[in-house]
Amino acid sequence: MNTQGYHYVIEASGCDPKVLTDADALKRILLESAKVGKMEVRSTYFYRFSPQGVSGMVIVSGSHISIHTWPEKGYAAIDVYTCDIDSKPEETLNYILEKIGATYAHITEIERGIEDEDGTYTHTILSWDEAPQEE
């Protein structure tokens, strides 16, 4: 199996607090995002905190999709990581951002598992900001 993969770390702001509080809705969103990104789901776990907030994880064949929410802040921390070269992780993250109503996202792409000539591993990092497009 190839060690090289892409790990997206997303800071999503301006999200819908109702969605960020709803563990069932977030589970549906992440499962559908895996399908959109051509990822094979292996397992899921979601936990709703009291009084609010959700942490959830979807294990996919290539790695994982996770979310941690702060509804009172309209904020979600999202990870999308895959080593599956046939998957579409950017489509996965865009789907999640749309469904949680994010008005802004800071996205960092980490290309991981890059093997150096001496057999050690490294990664590269690229970051950008996204806001919804005006139609």
Active site positions, annotated:
63, 68, 83
Q: How far is CA 99 from CA 1, 5, 110, 116, 126, in A?
A: 32, 25, 23, 39, 24
Q: Which residues of 24-41 are buried (b: 16+ CB within 10 A; e: fewer)?
A: ebbbebbbebbeebbbee
Q: What is the CA radius of gyration of the chain?
A: 15
Element (H, E) at 27: helix 23-36
What is the distance between the alpha carbons of residues 85 and 128, in angstroms, rounded to a whole number? Answer: 22
